[in-house]
């Protein structure tokens, strides 16, 4: 399944909004089969903050492990945010090249 993060907005900024987005999407994830992948598409995103991403992407990674695939992005805020999360949690994200 592919998820366009833009459906949650173009500017993803606060921890509270990231948590709300995860709670809204959590039911969909719970219905995944054990081998289904989730691809995260960052196209259309203007700003992705570390706090929003930590509340949304980190729990997804906890649930899906290597089945969470982050699609490539040219957005510098996405790159910076993913770097911060990798360093904070000491684990890499699965980024599709």
Retrieve residue 4's tokens: 């366009």
What's the CA gap between 15 and 12, in Å, rounded? 9
**Ranges of residues in the chain whose predicted pLDDT is under 50:** none
- Position 23 scores a pLDDT of 96
Alpha-carbon distance of 72 to 58, in angstroms, equals 18
Other C-beta atoms lying within 10 Å of the C-beta of residue 12? 25
DSSP reduced 3-state for 12: strand
Name residues whose C-beta falls within 8 Å of residue 68's C-beta, 6 or more positions apart in sequence.
37, 38, 40, 57, 60, 61, 93, 94
What is the per-residue pLDDT for 30? 85
């Amino acid at each position: 399944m592919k998820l366009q993060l833009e459906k949650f907005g173009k500017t993803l900024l606060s921890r509270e909004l990231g948590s709300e987005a995860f709670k809204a999407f959590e039911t969909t994830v719970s219905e995944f089969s054990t081998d289904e992948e989730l691809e995260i598409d960052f196209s259309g995103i203007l700003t992705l903050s570390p706090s929003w991403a930590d509340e949304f992407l980190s729990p997804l990674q906890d649930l899906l492990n290597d089945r969470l695939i982050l699609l490539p992005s040219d957005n510098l805020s996405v790159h910076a945010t993913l770097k911060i999360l990798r360093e904070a949690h000491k684990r890499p994200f699965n980024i599709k090249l």
